[in-house]
Structure 1
């Protein structure tokens, strides 16, 4: 009765639906306590915030009931003094009312004497567990959590920790940031299985002589080799060996031209035939230029045809001169047309070098235009720009473009490197 009187006084101070509800529940509880000496019910035990029913019989004495009444009084005062929103008061209080109505005996802080054996909780037999229920360490360790793979991302970096294939490719030296910029390559790599798709092709490359350190370069530039069938890859390697390319040459060609094995045998045969017929080369010379520049079998033929026409029509080289230039410097076939024209124009029209000297030293067509220009102007300033073999103090075109600055200055210009650098600043 003292608890009910206290609640009534509190509610007079705070006339709200919340306090009225507390008063009603408290008054009903006190009425039940007065008429009950002992109760045989299924009490409610609180464990980790969950209400778990237990089936046992207990006899509560009067001191125990007084302790429960004090506990309920403390609980009521706690809800009255909390500065929370009204909707949370209503939610929490409704939960208290349900417990009070279901069982007049509220849980205490002390353990209730147990007269019957409690049923054991079988974790294995449970269908599902509550997020707040305590379980053993063994049961916690047995819980499997599926890996969370991002459903969508603009970068393969988010999938590396979740995909075995991507993590192994990174270890091989593959640059994923380059591959993710290419359409559909990222999704293709995520669908591949390392053991069944990637590993067999890596073993094949190793068997034909490709170094392990080249795997990352090959896959970075040609990830589609991982989708080629092993039968096709073996057939293309066998074709190259049939054309008398050695095993070491084939391995070198594949390492430097990653797309080489993606082309069919028919296309490879057509490319070899094109260069042999277009340049009127022997089989040995054809193998020589292909082995030194294997990307001739992979790239487009249009730049090659255009450069051949430029050399013949614009530059005025004869067929045998073009043949000699290509055998010595195969890069002329794939060089940038503007750069090639700029170098030839400076050699022939400014430096007055005739065609036969350019043919004799074709490496000059593969040099940097700025280096060629600065060194010629420096020699001309010193009065030593003599490129005719019949003149005294003749300077070879090959040495002109191939020597480092120190050697060029001391051996050809008879000057110091400082003189060269000072001259370059004045230009």
Structure 2
């Protein structure tokens, strides 16, 4: 009590933060002593053994605050000499601030805490202690699948197969779908099925990157669709090639596949053999929308002026005309028919010209015209075949068709 009154008087004389802190700690010491609690190294320890173990676990945290108080008093003492004398006097007398003996005792207590037995899993803990428990888990939310690769066996093995996760995460709900899949239970059986029908391992990454939903298809449904294609006289090698190049092919039901094959056979008036030939060369015809196909057929008939039998011949030779961009198709036809003066019959005979790059067609025609060799009618002796002109490399085009050097062609291209 005498110490409290002395510190109170000092606090009134010296209204510094240090003195106020000392006064508050002494008041706390008095109130604690009245509660019949013993003080040791700044820690309140009851006589109950169970309570002692609990308090020992919290001891480092309380000593930490007392240590900060000591540091604060030491630093503040460097600024004011009078305050330094006052703080040193209180440190020697106050049991709340750790001295050398108290620090040694604290270290001993900490070592005892490290040797203490672990808590039982059934022991109740407080809410504060529960908050401090960290449970390792996968990120609950992320904008990229990369954060889950190290924590998901399925994603790890898909990456090893060459799957493009960036392409998959652009699609809604695909990332969460992949995280729910078990590799051994869901993914591996589908990969074995693809391998059984002849798909090479190097194509797994390509197929799953473009069609991850094949991993959720029933194996019975997949087998039924393969059996249907074989029943339509598609060979096993053709089915393998179609699945490898059109990943969505096996996601469509047998009824839909049958309707698509019937559409092309009836719309183009093709035989069953020619229909299989067209679909086998461009299997995505069975997967994509039919609207672009219908539109291109109308363009060929109405805008470009081809007859029905000419359209059939063009489609059988170049199935890509059915899915070509409408603007590109009309642009190439306009240059062939109106600039190069190639008639419909000749375009039908060399339909590969409709599937070439417009810039290549334009540059090569202008170069042949400059040399006076732009003759495309087979009736002429030295005519230029359209299919070769748009497909061969530049060096062959120059030496065999234009009868010029590659340097001459390069110089001519710079004048365009």
Q: 1:306 to 1:45 in 2, by over 3 A?
A: same
Partner Cα separation in structure 2 for residue 76 and residue 153 of structure 1: 43
Are residue 355 (structure 1) and residue 348 (structure 2) matched? no
Q: TM-score, normalised by structure 2?
A: 0.75
Contact 1:8–1:23 (8 Å) recurs in 2: no
- CA offsets 1:168-196 (integer angstroms, 9 cap, x no match): 22222222222222222222222222222
Q: How does 1:375-414 map to 2 (within 5 A)?
A: 375-414=364-403
Q: 2:239 aligns with which of 246, 250, 264?
A: 250
Partner of 1:302: 291
Partner Cα separation in structure 2 for residue 296 and residue 27 of structure 1: 90
Partner of 1:326: 315
Are residue 415 (structure 1) and residue 404 (structure 2) matched? yes
- CA offsets 1:212-262 (integer angstroms, 9 cap, x no match): 111111111111112211111111111111111112211111111111111
Partner Cα separation in structure 2 for residue 235 and residue 100 of structure 1: 85
Are residue 19 (structure 1) and residue 22 (structure 2) matched? yes
| Offset of residue 50 of structure 1 | 7.3
Q: 1:188 aligns with which of 174, 177, 180?
A: 177
Contact 1:44–1:107 (8 Å) recurs in 2: no
Partner Cα separation in structure 2 for residue 243 and residue 416 of structure 1: 51
How many residues are aligned here? 365
Partner Cα separation in structure 2 for residue 369 and residue 322 of structure 1: 21
| Offset of residue 107 of structure 1 | 5.2
Contact 1:42–1:55 (8 Å) recurs in 2: no
Q: How does 1:149-164 map to 2 (within 5 A)?
A: 149-164=138-153
RMSD: 4.0
Partner of 1:122: 117
| Offset of residue 44 of structure 1 | 7.1
SS in 1 for 2:390: helix
| Offset of residue 159 of structure 1 | 2.3
Partner of 1:221: 210
Higher alpha-carbon deviation: 352-361 or 15-24: 15-24
When Rg is computed on C-alpha atoms for both structures, the one with the higher figure is: 1
Contact 1:379–1:413 (8 Å) recurs in 2: yes
Q: 1:20 to 1:405 in 2, by over 3 A?
A: closer
Q: 1:291 aligns with which of 273, 280, 289?
A: 280
Partner Cα separation in structure 1 for residue 199 and residue 7 of structure 2: 88
Contact 1:340–1:365 (8 Å) recurs in 2: yes
Q: How does 1:9-408 map to 2 (within 5 A)?
A: 14=14, 16-21=19-24, 80-81=73-74, 83=76, 109=104, 121-123=116-118, 125=120, 127=123, 146-408=135-397
Higher alpha-carbon deviation: 177-186 or 249-258: 177-186
| Offset of residue 338 of structure 1 | 1.3
Partner Cα separation in structure 1 for residue 27 and residue 326 of structure 2: 97
Is there any run of 5+ residues in structure 2 with no aligned partner, and where? Answer: 50-66, 78-90, 107-114, 127-132
SS in 1 for 2:104: coil
Is there any run of 5+ residues in structure 1 with no aligned partner, and where? Answer: 32-40, 57-73, 85-95, 112-119, 131-143
Q: 1:162 to 1:75 in 2, by over 3 A?
A: closer
Q: TM-score, normalised by structure 1?
A: 0.73
Partner Cα separation in structure 2 for residue 335 and residue 76 of structure 1: 80
Partner Cα separation in structure 2 for residue 297 and residue 288 of structure 1: 13
Contact 1:4–1:26 (8 Å) recurs in 2: no
Partner Cα separation in structure 2 for residue 377 and residue 108 of structure 1: 95
| Offset of residue 409 of structure 1 | 0.9
Contact 2:353–2:386 (8 Å) recurs in 1: yes
Contact 2:37–2:44 (8 Å) recurs in 1: no
